[in-house]
Amino acid sequence: NAVIGRYKLSVQSTSSGSSSPASLGTFVLLFNSWSSGDDVFMPNKAECEEYVLEEFGIIFAGNKNRINSFGWNFGQFQGDILNICLSMMDRSLNYRQDPATDVSHRNDPKYVGRVLSAMVNANDDQGVLLGNWSGNYEGGKSPSSWTGSGEILQNWKKSGFKPVRYGQCWVFAAVLTTVLRCLGIPTRTITNFSSAHDADGNLRVDEFYDASGNHLDRAADSIWNFHVWNESWFSRSDLGPSYSGWQVLDATPQEESGGIYQCGPASRNAIKEGDVDLDYDCPFVFAEVNADCMYWNYDSTTGKKTLIFSKSTVIGQSISTKAVGRDDRVDVTNDYKYEEGSTKERDIFKKARKKLGLEDKFDPTAPTRQEIDQKPDISGKFKVSGPLEVGKNLNLILVLANLQSDAKTVHVNMTAWSTVYTRRPVHEIWKDSISVTLSPKEEKQFPIKIPYTEYQQQLTTDNTIQVTALCHVEGGVQVLVQRDITLDNPDIDVQVLGEAKVNKEVDVEVTFTNPIDVEVTDCVLQVEGNDLLRGILEIDVPPLKAGEKSSTKFKLIPFETGPKHLLVNFSCDKFADIKTFKMVNV
């Protein structure tokens, strides 16, 4: 339980009387998950290897219908990273206000985790990364262009500790993983799909749409396609043994906690059991995986809002992390909540509401019982017909079904917007409206085609499009049909030509075929990999005509044996950040 950090070591000889001690140098003390007395003790050795020693990770993204993933170089043992992590502690607000007290708490992983969750974002304390969710990343690097934490941490130090531009949730989480693993705290990244950002703490997320079906950016609440945070493993002497184990930490600046942008540690067991009154920030994390959703129609002229529908099973799906010792996805949703729709899960939700004092309080913004119980006359959904790829036309089918035994007339307003992964609308791409009559119990299909030429200019680096149809049923309640679509980038291929041996050159070939019928320009290949090459390799690739294939070769000289990961990122004017990784056995 000693304080972690850099110690001076000196020796004093008793025989030589009062001579001053001779310095032997310094050493750095870390947390030790192999030691049974340590707060971060992890009994499973394979887990220690993954969550402390592994420098490569896989982060999951996309959306609940289509999960994708990319590699990340945590690089916690690369040159100078330890020094940067230690100086991060010394730049925190706590240290600046009271250095002695701050240092005396550095034996406590709860304290260290919470302080570092604040330091990884730039808010409040000139921390490591500046967040940007606008879709415009001028003046910095787009969040999706990073492939590892090392470059970010080195840039922060080189610039005299000015925040690095720009981060989004997975970048904050990946950097926090690097820093905590470096200091010896077992840590992993977690991706939550359909993640709620409940800004007002009522365990409810409100979304607003206008009569044309446009998703209005007017609520502080939001539902992100995915959100990435961290779990760190340590005991909770403050709460008791049943709350030890995985703890949620989140460095993405979303809401203030104790006056600054930090989040956690929130015990994962406390989240599952609805014990939202326990330290730290459990209500916010509980809402991220459990909030109820309310979809409203908002009339900007009158300011009147009408509930379209509410859902309690949308939020917190396919919660994912990388497997131990393998490059696979593991689903940990059941560690965060009881089965969706089960009575136990609803009981826990009620328990949490009660602990937050939401049960007895009148909420003027809440929908009435009558609004919640209203039943729609029709149902609708968007079906995908055709490939979801950047460069191809987007083909969908709107399916409308009459649930009643009398005919219904429906006026449908449809829109498609490019969004960032937080589902914040950025550019309108397409709109249309139709009026249809549905016979009793009839189902009709309406094909929708959004050509690549219409969405290409508007797409953000997240490749996400939100399609909405607001259906006004004559004499009935409105029905909202929506779908979030993530388009896949084309593939790049990486081949290692020959056997990789320590201190021997080996060739690597990266191939990419331009899948669209126009030339692509400004092509850049970015490559990194611990023990395979030093720093980051950037190669300019000549422009590619329609359908043309490019082949780029470069040399590696590996300097360590074992399984190593090469991370490759290809960008050009029409495709942002096409990523892949290749395992190289040296």
Residue-by-residue DSSP string for 81-144? HHHHHHHHHHTSHHHHH-HHHHHHTTT-HHHHHHHHHHHTB-TTT--SEEE--SS--TTS--GG
Q: CB of 468 within 8 A of CB of 430? A: no
Residues 290-300 have a mean pLDDT of 93
Residue 364 is predicted with a pLDDT of 74
Q: What is the pTM of this model?
A: 0.96
Domains of the chain, earliest start first:
45-356 (3.90.260.10), 375-486 (2.60.40.10), 492-585 (2.60.40.10)
Q: CB of 130 within 8 A of CB of 55? A: no
Give the dihedral sign, CA 282/285/289/294. positive
Catalogue the E-assigned strands of 346-451: 378-384, 394-402, 408-419, 425-438, 443-450
Q: Indicate the SS3 state at residue 435.
A: strand
543, burial (CB in 10 Å: exposed 0-12, middle 13-18, buried 19+): middle
Q: For residue 213, how many C-alpha atoms fall within 13 Å in the half-sphere facing its CB?
A: 26
Residues 439-453 have a mean pLDDT of 97
Residues 449-455 have a mean pLDDT of 97
Confidence of residue 21 (pLDDT cuts 50, 70, 90): confident
Q: Which of 35-39, 217-221, 240-244, 577-581 has the lowest mean pLDDT?
A: 217-221
Residues 136-154 have a mean pLDDT of 97
Q: Is 371 assigned to a binding site?
A: no
Q: Is 293 a catalytic residue?
A: no
- Residues near 138 by beta carbon (within 8 Å), at least 6 away in sequence: none
Confidence of residue 571 (pLDDT cuts 50, 70, 90): very high
Residue 498 is predicted with a pLDDT of 95
User: Which residue of the set 108, 125, 250, 275 is catalytic?
Assistant: 250
- Residues near 342 by beta carbon (within 8 Å), at least 6 away in sequence: none
Q: CB of 248 within 8 A of CB of 217? A: no
Residues 67-85 have a mean pLDDT of 97
Share of the chain above pLDDT 90, in %: 91
Residue 88 is predicted with a pLDDT of 97
- Residues near 94 by beta carbon (within 8 Å), at least 6 away in sequence: 101, 102, 115
Element (H, E) at 584: strand 578-585
Residue 220 is predicted with a pLDDT of 87
Write the DSSP symbol of residue 148. Answer: B
Q: CB of 183 within 8 A of CB of 269? A: no
- Residues near 368 by beta carbon (within 8 Å), at least 6 away in sequence: none
User: Which residue of the set 48, 85, 169, 263 is catalytic?
Assistant: 169
* Cα–Cα dist 329/322, whole Å: 5
Q: Indicate the SS3 state at residue 173.
A: helix
Confidence of residue 271 (pLDDT cuts 50, 70, 90): very high
Q: Is 169 a catalytic residue?
A: yes
pLDDT digits (tens, 9 = 90+) for 355-382: 999 876 777 778 888 787 788 999 999 9
Phi and psi at 427, nearest 5°, equal -135, 140
Q: What are the tokens at 451?
A: 């050509």
Residue 17 is predicted with a pLDDT of 67
* Cα–Cα dist 343/419, whole Å: 35
Q: CB of 49 within 8 A of CB of 325? A: yes
* Cα–Cα dist 35/130, whole Å: 36
Question: What DSSP line would sit under 520-553, residue for residue?
Answer: B-SEEEEEE-TTTSSS-EEEEE--B-TT-EEEEE
282, burial (CB in 10 Å: exposed 0-12, middle 13-18, buried 19+): buried
Q: Is 340 assigned to a binding site?
A: yes
* Cα–Cα dist 140/146, whole Å: 11
* Cα–Cα dist 415/471, whole Å: 12
* Cα–Cα dist 440/458, whole Å: 40
The better pLDDT of the pair 292, 359 is held by 292
* Cα–Cα dist 356/358, whole Å: 5
Residues 34-57 have a mean pLDDT of 97
Residue 12 is predicted with a pLDDT of 86
Share of the chain above pLDDT 70, in %: 99
Q: CB of 448 within 8 A of CB of 433? A: no
Confidence of residue 118 (pLDDT cuts 50, 70, 90): very high
Q: Which of 88-97, 103-112, 263-272, 307-316 has the lowest mean pLDDT?
A: 307-316
User: Which residue of the set 198, 215, 221, 227 is catalytic?
Assistant: 227
Residue 327 is predicted with a pLDDT of 94
Confidence of residue 16 (pLDDT cuts 50, 70, 90): low
* Cα–Cα dist 288/425, whole Å: 20
Q: Indicate the SS3 state at residue 343.
A: helix
Q: Is 345 assigned to a binding site?
A: yes
Write the DSSP symbol of residue 153. Answer: H
Residue 386 is predicted with a pLDDT of 93
pLDDT at 481 over 70: yes
Residues 548-566 have a mean pLDDT of 96
Q: Is 538 assigned to a binding site?
A: no
Other beta carbons less than 10 A from residue 228's beta carbon: 27
Residues 500-524 have a mean pLDDT of 97
| Residue where the block lists tokens 């991706």 | 191
Q: Which of 432, 448, 438 is nearest to 473 (CA)?
A: 438
Q: Is 250 a catalytic residue?
A: yes
pLDDT digits (tens, 9 = 90+) for 318-331: 999 999 999 999 99
